[in-house]
Amino acid sequence: MDDLYREVIIEHYKNPSHRGKLDPHDISFADNNPLCGDHIQIDLRIDSDGLVADARFDGHGCAISQASADMLVESIIGKPLEEVKKLNKESVLELLGIDLGPVRLKCALLSLKVLKAGVYGLGEASDELVE
Amino acid sequence: MKLNLTEIRKDFPILERETRAGVRLIYLDSTATSQKPLSVITAMDDFYRRSNANIHRGVHTLAEESTALYEGAREKIAKFINASSARQIIYTRNTTESINLVAYSWARANLKQDDLVILTEMEHHSNLVPWHMLHAERGIELEFIPVTEEGLLDLETYKILLSRNPKLVSFTHMSNVLGTINPAAQIIRLGHEAGAVVLVDGAQSVPHFAVDVQSLDADFYAFSSHKMCGPTGIGVLYGKATLLESMPPFLGGGDMIKEVKLRSFRPNTLPHKFEAGTPAIAEAIGFGAAVDYLNGIGMDNIAAHEHEITEYALERMEEIPGVKLFGPSADKKGGVAAFTLEGVHPHDVAQILDRDGIAVRAGHHCAQPLHEKFGIQATSRASFYMYNTKDEVDLLVNGIYKVKKMFG
């Protein structure tokens, strides 16, 4: 619990390295967390080898949602899309390095849901995507 | 009379608990739901230990006892809001269901396409969505009394809207976000002069100050037990007898009928006409005990204490750089302090306060349009009841400074 706001999370929240939009992009998807109105958009560029050439996130919300989005986006650059598809809840928690209760887990996983919904070309970022 | 906080706090066992080892609970979320005094917990416990039986039909001792307790609670609640008779107290699940009862029964029998319903911009979703649904279903028209920058209803615009022949005015007596106490008697009188029926959402008012439905002249008045020291799962719709009698039943089933044939039924009399199926019996009894508890302290004493705490809280919170408070000054509001802290999301504020045992709510508090009006997604909200102390306000203020330091 005391780790929840460890410095690295606050740092990613206050000074995100990958906030913004990509234009042009190959994939773009956005969704909300209906519980608290957090909003995340993720844009990706994919190169001819199927690797993530560049990625950005944009949106608003709590420190957990925004920091996890920044860390997630940072972590997938240079990775094959097939590997991105395999990311799950544990991948995000590993990035954050903290344990989360059920409410804040939703904040942390919003960016992964948006990312996977975008990569799979789905209309909605559902919970099943991150199980 | 000044409240004896030491004695009152002893009545609420939960206030003794720690949220983590060595961290005592500071409960500042009574607007979401209040804590329960021992007398309420005991009343429900006693019922299940001694009297539990279904109501209204049995002739055995327990059935008689439980019926008497269930109906006795209704009498207490009627007196509490000065209804002229207990038949006008319809048990529901909560305020939301009470408003839905009016929307399904009264409104579907009385409103047609293009009929105007006036709401306000400060409504809880429970007094918005039922009307959105009716708008989608039969094209009723919705208009909203605007909220001023200060957080009050713009009554001049209300008067203009009234010239359009509204059929219903439905508004909250007290805002769950801004804390604004609306001039209910005036809003109702103006609505009646324009020929409208008036429904009041009293979820936040009945728990915190004396409400007299007859002197207000409300047509319908809705409130919940769980925000006024009672259990969850039970609420009330008060209605004028003539209106309730003219309305078709809401849910069909047992207890709401006088007679059933294979292909027809005759509805029961008030209040049973609107109470289909086995109700929340223990909860009704707990609700009655909550009313006894509030009467024992005195609603005017509770209101005076909350006013003092709120005034102090607003004063202290205003001093914190980066804190922005929403809603009017303490003399125009109840015990609610919704705020934002610059650079920190309200969820983070609430989470960090929770480490010190301080329970506040964060989010849009089921009033998304109101937050949009003020250009924000969410607020943190501290709210107060008769058991809160100035010391707890100080701890909240210290906690907010801690949050600032962390995100500094």
Helix or strand (DSSP H, E) at B359: strand B358-359
Is the CB of residue A1 less than 8 Å away from at least one CB of chain B?
Answer: yes
Determine if the peptide bond prior to B321 is cis (ω within 30°). Answer: no
Reported confidence tier of residue A2, pLDDT bands at 50, 70, 90 = low
Of the residues B340, B342, B348, the best mutation for testing chain A's interface (the one with the most A CB atoms within 10 Å of its CB) is: B348
Q: Is A8 on the interface with B (CB under 8 A)?
A: no
Listed in sequence order, the residues at least 6 apart from A38 whose beta carbon sits closer than 8 Å to its beta carbon are: A32, A59, A60, A61, A62, A65, A107, A110
pLDDT on residue A36: 67
- Kindly list the residues from chain A whose CB atom is less than 8 angstroms away from the CB atom of residue B346: 62
Q: Does B346 touch chain A (CB under 8 A)?
A: yes
The nearest alpha carbon in chain A to B371 belongs to: A37
CB contact under 8 A, A36 and B352: no
* Confidence (pLDDT) at B46: 98
What pLDDT shows up at residue B83?
98
The per-residue pLDDT of chain B, averaged, comes to: 96
Interchain CB contact of B185 with A (< 8 Å): no
Catalytic residue (one of B23, B210, B366, B376): B366
CATH: 3.90.1010.10, 1.20.1440.120, 3.20.20.210, 1.10.510.10. Which one for A2-124? 3.90.1010.10
The structural domains of chain B, ordered by start, are: 5-30+299-407 (3.90.1150.10), 41-296 (3.40.640.10)
Report CA A6 to chain centroid distance, whole Å.
Answer: 18
Rounded to a whole number of angstroms, the distance from the CA of A49 to the nearest CA of chain B is 39
The answer to whether B366 is a known catalytic residue is: yes
Distance from C-alpha of A71 to C-alpha of B230, rounded to nearest angstrom: 45
Element (H, E) at B19: strand B18-20
pLDDT digits (tens, 9 = 90+) for A3-51: 678 888 999 999 999 999 999 999 999 998 876 678 999 999 999 999 9
- What 3-state DSSP class applies to B121? coil
**What 3-state DSSP class applies to B239?**
strand
Closest residue, chain A, to B407 (C-alpha): A10
Domain boundaries in chain A? 2-124
Q: Tally the C-alpha atoms within 13 A of residue B63's C-alpha that lie toward its C-beta.
A: 8
CA-based nearest distance A131→chain B, Å: 24
Q: Which value, in Å, is the radius of gyration of the alpha carbons in chain A?
A: 13
Give the count of Cβ contacts less than 8 A between chain A and B: 43
Per-residue exposure over B300-329, b if at least 16 CB sit within 10 Å of its own CB, e if not: eebbbbbbbbbebbbebbeebeebebbbbe
**Residues in B touching A63 (Cβ below 8 Å):** 344-345, 348, 407
- From chain B, the residues in CB contact with A1 under 8 A are 20, 355
Burial tier of B408 (Cβ tally within 10 Å: 0-12, 13-18, 19+): exposed
CB within 8 Å: A5 and B368: no
Decide if A128 touches B, using CB distance below 8 A.
no
What is the tens place of the pLDDT at every residue in A68-116? 999 999 999 999 999 999 999 999 999 998 888 888 888 899 999 999 9
pTM, two decimal places: 0.92
Picking from A1, A10, A62, the nearest residue to B355 by CB comes out as A1
Calculate how close chain A gets to B67, using CA atoms only, in Å.
Answer: 40
Helix, strand or coil, per DSSP, at residue B330 = helix
Looking at CA atoms only, how far is residue B362 from chain A in angstroms? Answer: 8
Q: What is the pLDDT averaged over residues B320-348?
A: 96
- Flag if B355 and A2 touch (Cβ within 8 Å): yes
pLDDT of residue A101: 82
- Name residues 4-33 of chain B within 8 A of A (Cβ): 20
Task: ipTM value, please give it.
Answer: 0.79
Interface contact B363-A64, CB threshold 8 A: no
Judged against a pLDDT cut of 70, whether residue A1 lies above it is answered with no
